[in-house]
Amino acid sequence: MLASLPAFAFGLAEDLTRRVGVRERLLATMASGVLAWWLSGISLTRVDIWGIDALLAWAPLSVIFTAFAVGGIANAINIIDGFNGLAAGVILICLSSLGFIAFYAGDPVMAKVCFVFGGVTAGFLLINFPFGKIFLGDGGAYLLGFWLAWIAVLIAMRNPHISPWSSLLACAYPIVEVLFSVYRRRRRNHHPGHPDRLHLHSLIKSRITRKRMASSSLTMKNAAVSPYLWCLAAVPALLAPMLRSHTSWLMLAFVGFFALYYSCYVALVRFAIKR
């Protein structure tokens, strides 16, 4: 909770002033990761890839790598926070997956943490979805994103017989979203932090819900996007606990999910061209 303060404070400052850039918020979230390491002594020291694990044995590199990973996941949650229930629903799915990974790994403490934080998220979700009577804002998105990221780190590092790729697969949807967004913007010669309306969730709204729910209110069209992506996020989240100790299968599942995401994206783009 203490380590999350920089991420939350900079996100809240953006909500209140609209003057805190993406870079500053990302650095603040990375600072939260460094603070969490300083308080706990835990950082990512293995990814089950030969050569990289040897490099991560050097503490400074391990801490920097952990900070980047934590900042990336938190930023990914902020990116998908655009529709009623989307971010909170995805976080709840990811936390549930991580909770079962911890439970099957014989780590009841982390399982309880996952399910308690999941309960917190579910309470918010009941008010946020479908009518949007309360919003996460950047403060909430970075706060929950940091919690999710640090829990993923803790579970992987507290349980040596569990592959770190299980945590990665549990959170695959937001991670793939941010990776593909960076690739897409670079290809278009845009800054990686440049906002656009070309995310998968944006395309689902413009290509599907807006057309199929033409007579519905804007609020309901907004909320209707989330269930599509909850289903997508649930695919890797369901696989992660089952494959928790098998790094090769987890890697293959992550690549397969990336292919699924890309196929959905291309299908929506081609649908728009046909229209």
The DSSP letter of residue 204 is H
The answer to whether 79 and 142 are in contact (CB under 8 A) is no
The answer to whether 6 and 32 are in contact (CB under 8 A) is yes
pLDDT at 200: 95
pLDDT at 145: 97
Structure tokens at 216: 């519905």
pLDDT at 272: 56
pLDDT at 211: 86
Round the average pLDDT of the chain to a whole number and report it.
Answer: 94
Quickly tell me which residue has 């890309």 as its tokens: 262
pLDDT at 273: 53
pLDDT at 274: 56
- Residue 144 to residues 43, 187, 248, 256: CA-CA distances in angstroms? 19, 30, 29, 27
Residues of the chain with pLDDT under 70: 193-194, 272-275
Kindly report whether the global pTM for this prediction surpasses the value 0.75: yes
pLDDT at 40: 96
Side chain identity, residue 235: V
The answer to whether 90 and 136 are in contact (CB under 8 A) is no
Q: What is the DSSP string of 136-174?
A: -HHHHHHHHHHHHHHHHHHHHHH-TTS-HHHHHHHTHHH
